[in-house]
Chain A
Amino acid sequence: MLLINCPWCGERDQTEFTPHGEAHIARPLDPYALSEQEWGDYVFFRSNTKGIHYERWVHSHGCRRWFNAVRNTATDVIHATYKPGEPRPEISTEEPS
């Protein structure tokens, strides 16, 4: 890792950024309609993937804007970063790290 490519600012030191966990978890449209299990699953349960992981970061000591990253959690290699709302890039696990 060490350097992270902020899609808004370009490459910056890792210490400028704060991670905020798994990305692409949609907030349920009607929380009141959910069972305890479904709500617990949304709030607390995570994939915790070993390998390709889509996650949210914020450039907290820079532009303070959010973005998503694709990182291999086994090697910490970041394969791509992209702005919120953009489609998630498909990353092959075969990709050299």
Chain B
Amino acid sequence: MKKYSIFSLLRNSVNYHQDWQKNWRSPDPKPHYDVVIVGGGGHGLATAYYLAKECGVTNVAVIEKGWIGGGNTGRNTTIVRSNYLWDESAGIYEHAMKLWEGLSLDLNYNVMFSQRGLLHLAHSVHDMQEIGRRGNAIHLNGIDSEFVTPAQVKEMVPFINLNCRYPIMGALLQKRGGTARHDAVAWGYARKADDMGVDIIQNCEVTGFRIENNTVTGVDTTRGMIGAGKVGCVTAGHSGVLADMAGFRLPIESMPLQALVSEPIKPILDCVVMSGSVHAYISQSDKGELVIGAGTDNYNSYSQRGSFNIIEETVGPVIELYPIFSRMKMLRQWGGIVDVTVDRSPILSKTPVNNMYFNCGWGTGGFKATPGSGNVFAHSIARGEMHPIAEPFSIDRFNTGALIDEGAAAAVAH
């Protein structure tokens, strides 16, 4: 693999960019791998990368139904933050944040990680108490967060309407929060994993599992049977479908989550602003589009569509908070299927089937955790024991009652 550098850029620019090599191969599946990762999104590719890089397991395949990064990795609103309430969440999201901070260098691929700051608005006394509690909990976990006044919010976002229907009373700021380019994350991980010998097999759908004596031995795919020592399933919205193939159920319901982007405009918003109370998430991409995250529908569905009323309920608060955007044209709107757990925390866990691991339940906010999730999941698969950071996210917590209830406490309204 040729290294990307200023020199390779110069060399290729004088050659009309004809000589860039392919970022990854498209190999035929081998009959057997030590580890098969099902799902070629960010989390799956990151898992394969860290398996090869940190665990010395290179006989790995990533099997993807469509094309890599074509699922929720390519549909999210690209926000990265680690300002969660509970210690367990702080552990995994901050682990991810630290990896984000060196990711472009690590991958030799510009993931355009931009720590532009992330504001979480408070609109009521209850909101103020919630950010007070959470902000202090975040401090105790050694993660940055600051309380800011409405005047400081106005300084950061001069066109915000402080005296909107639910006036802004304060905000929680995570300066290290920001955005990253979602496609580049998938491509960067894929390129580096492929370089270390991982086979990335696209257009290959898993149709079933080979299970003998309650131990997984392989996966049936549309390109034939592939033997596997261990299997890691990282399939987001379709995790329930895969669990069904393996013969067990998950504490997950899959729901549509929508997002929309506007036409591109000149730079106007240089931080991420989110408001859980009125449900308005907005940032501006480097291309200039306003990226707006909507809420989930409340019924479970795999239709990748979502209801029209959700769009209205999303755009309403946005134009109340930012009247200047009221005449913006929305360019695209889409839906993805997110796997929502009842406590709104993910599942990284062993399963009732031996040697089969699931990494799912990231719900509406998995993108931010991509490097951390892949990292601890890789170590868990390689060692056969869950990584200490992943341990609390076991599927068993739904039996013992040790839930990690970010549903009430996270910065997002669910």
Contacts and interface: CB of A to CB of B under 8 A. Distances in A.
Q: Binding site of A, secondary structure by majority: helix, strand, loop or mixed?
A: mixed
A53 interface: yes
B254 A45 contact: no
Given A1-B307, A15-B309, A45-B249, A21 B398 contact: no
A75 to B, nearest CB: 6
B299 interface: yes
A86 interface: no
Contact of B303 (A2, A21, A76): A76
Contact of A74 (B244, B302, B398, B399): B302
Contact of B250 (A18, A39, A48, A55): A48
Contact of B300 (A1, A36, A37, A73): A73
Contact of A47 (B249, B302, B398): B249
A73 B301 contact: yes
Q: Binding site of B, secondary structure by majority: helix, strand, loop or mixed?
A: mixed
Contacts of B250: 45-46, 48
Contacts, number: 69
B249 A41 contact: yes
B251 A74 contact: no
Interface in A32-54: 36-37, 39-41, 43-50, 53
Interface string A63-97: 00000000101111000000000000000000000
A68 to B, nearest CB: 13
A92 to B, nearest CB: 19
A47 B232 CA distance: 20
Interface of A: 1-2, 14-15, 18-19, 21, 36-37, 39-41, 43-50, 53, 55, 71, 73-76
Given A55-B300, A74-B303, 11 more contacts: A18-B298, A19-B298, A19-B299, A40-B398, A46-B249, A46-B251, A46-B252, A46-B253, A48-B250, A49-B240, A55-B299
List of 4 A-B pairs having minimum Cβ-Cβ separation, nearest first: A48-B240, A40-B399, A44-B251, A19-B299
